[in-house]
Structure 1
Amino acid sequence: MAAAREKLQGLQGEITCGICRSYFSEPVTISCGHSFCRTCLSWSWRLGATPSSCPECRQVAQTTEIPGVNGRLAELTDLVKQLCSENLQSAEGQRQCARHKLTFKLFCEDDQTLLCVRCAQSPEHGAHKLSPVVEAAHNCRKKLQLLQSRLEKHLEEAEELLSGEEITAVECHWMIREEFNKLHQFLLDEEFQCLERLKQDERAEQDRLSQHVHTLQALILELQEAGHQLNVDLLWEVQHLLGRSASVLSQRAKAVSPELREYPIPGMMEMLRRFRVDLIMDPTAASPCVIISEDLKSVKAGEVWQVGTKYPEDAVGHYVFAEQAFSSGRQYWEVDVTQLPQWILGIYSPFLRKKRGRNEDTCASLFLLCCVKKEEDYYLQTYPGSLNHRVKSPVPRVGVYLEYSSGTLAFYNVLQHSLIYRFYPIFFTAPVTPIFSPGPPLPASEAGPMTLCPVDSGLCAFCSSCL
């Protein structure tokens, strides 16, 4: 009996689908020799990453068409199912109530338990709904079939949704790629136009300087010729020559200090603000020359600050350090300087690598952007660096971008979305600390604070009015 049961179990394995793990339904055999339910194989080939491959051995079938039903395998399946059913009925007949040693004949619908006749007569099942085992099993199979139908319907809906999602995903990827291509092309066009404006401005600046040179040369020649004139003629024309000389000399400052032009870069500020950090000032940096606010977000010049201080050599005690220092990553912060005619922003690093031929030295360094007012004009200067340009009006808000790994330090005019100056490359070897200085103050003037802008801040009312 045991040997027959083992053979039957072996036959069950031969007629079981490797996909649904149930008895074959319309079995088909593909070229590699493996067999599956016709419906299971169809779903597998429809959803599989490799089309027309065997779900078991992954061998690609010789044809993409579903083979016909394997009749002999279908007959074997029906035969084994019949034998298994008879064996199951025999096994059911042998199952007995452990308490009364009687065969299970009834099923309690309330407790969902099998009962013998004696158990059914007990008071605990007196008010329960009892059904014969055959009827209960029949009803159970109907419920399972109904549940299977619902699941198959849900599976079909899910497959349709999956197919639709795949199409939607492809369309979405294509649309996003097209939008980025459009953005790239837009930026390329903006770059071309910006560079063209830069070339035109450079030519105009060269023409202006050339005209200034010609004017100086002509005036010098006139002065030389006037020196050889008769006394009366010289005195007759000297006032005119002196007036022209004074006019030319008054234009000297603007001639040798070009105006810093603004070239907006679309989207730059939005991108930089992804790296904003919430800085605070180091309270230990306060001194009689610089006063830090209680919230550590602003600093202003103290009353004892001497107006004649020179930068940057004589102003070490007039800097305020940030409490944070950076040794990796990208950082961006903005500073409101609307109430300051003169100010300094930058970074300090205690150690830098400086290449000298094949050797490298280390030194401490400052990298600064300074705003200086001379008479009625404002100048932006860098230290170290060659920037010394006039600006049409004060810059109300300055953005500072630091990228440690590439050694980049850049300053931006936030309102105009334009670059002011960039240091590159700086060979950092130690943490970098932002620094601030609200001065030096101007004579007979009271300057306001230099303020760190909050990470989530927009433009203030004053800044917005400057646009």
Structure 2
Amino acid sequence: MSAASCLQSEDLFMCSICLDVFTDPVTTSCGHNFCKTCITQHWNSNVQCVCPLCNKVFCTRPELKVNAFISEIAAEFRQSTKNKASIRSEEPAAKAGEVQCDVCTGTKVKAIKSCLKCEASYCQTHLEPHLTAARLKSHQLIHPVDNLEDRMCKKICVYLICPVVILLCLYMLGADFYTKNHEFVPLTEECEGKKAELKKTLVEIQQKIQQIRLKIHEINQSEKLSREAADRKKAEGLQIFTTLKQRVEDIQADFMETVEEQRKSIEKQAEDFIKELQQELSELTVIAAEVEKLLRSGDYLHLLQSFSFISTAPTPKDWTQVRVHQRSHEGSLEKAVAQLEETISKEVKKLLKKVELKRVQQFAVDVTLDPNTANLYLILSDDEKQVHLGDVLKNLPDQPQRFEKIGVLGKQSFSSGRFYFEVQVKGKTHWILGVTTETSKRKGGFKRSPQECYWTLCLFENKLFGFDDPPVDLSLKSRPEKVGVFVDFEEGLVSFYDVDAAALIFSFTGCSFTHKLLPYFSPSLYVDNTNYAPLIISAVSHTE
């Protein structure tokens, strides 16, 4: 085992009061361990029973019992140290200036402790009895010093700590002067006072260490949350810009294809014109050759016979007004840019809606229905995730929390933070969803509106509205098939989302929540032999 490992192992089994390996370790209710004798003496010397490590105050002195588990491990650790010392082939002799063990015979080994009671110094091996023998455990051990018997003094000046300095003071000033002008206290008493001060200092240092560790943890957590938020934002931005880039590329491709088709059309028109011109050119060339031949001929009869043929030849087409129309390209770029602007605007709105829904979906919670609150006509599924209206009134006790109207609550309640859940409403023509407080009305006539501590969305007669007073009519192109409900307790916000369309339907803002909130569900009554489908609490599938 390395030196670092040894130190670490020793620290695990060291009493913070005596700074030695545990002897009869006990555990306080605050979770800290001490030697039974050490903590007992500590409490005997103080008015209050306080934990030396965390400063927890105990109203009554706790009953201390030896922690057998830690005691066994400490004993094993001590025995292991002893065994390792015993199996050493030969320990190195103490070097010049080092304190020697007073017990070693032959080669003198370096001492690691001196005992004030025994007035002797011990190496690791010979110190073991002081660590294990009950009668020796009370001896006071200090760092090793030379000539311990010459330096020991049972009385010490409170202003001078070192025994050598005391002897010098007595020698120079005289015993009478020293006795008259100095106050003497026992060495052990002065040491105990200093140890108490050191323990207090140690507790303060340990508290500061804990505070620093907590601050480091807090900063690390903040940095981690910031990094995670940045990663989410980058992912969202990448999704938006990748989609927009694809849309730009699609419109660019359409634009290039349109221009190319127009170019090909113009090219074909030009080719047709050229073909026709070349045909006419060929015919005119033949006629011109014939005319030149007649002009050179001396056969007047042939000239007269051919003149009538040439004079009746078709008149060439007037090409002066014929143009290849370049205007067919005009407006193409402007049209493509306008289309791009419209497409980008629509895509950005659509993507931002998805990002918003994705943001609230991260606060998804598991919600189940509470049978004890369900109206007696309602039927719940075995997994308590579905509810629909039945035909038979259940024979159950009418508890105060049970709804007299068609409704049921979720089991889970929330008194802070943010939460989100989704409900499938597909196939239904009437329903009410939202949240309410644990103290809201369940009996008699009441509106499921904020004035009665209900924040709900309602579908009634194919109309969707926020259940306020008066109701807020929501004109939608299509009815949602899955509704997401999001609550921010501290912000006083309740929002409803069309999950499939990734669109916000309606929000209650500026709400004041003074009690715990619970999810609320009402599948409503049958209407015109419809509305049999259940309300289903769905697992949240995060929007991509």
Same fold (TM over 0.5): no
Give the TM-score of the pair, scaled to structure 2: 0.33
Max Rg structure: 2
Q: Considering fraction of residues, name the structure with more strand.
A: 1
Give the TM-score of the pair, scaled to structure 1: 0.38
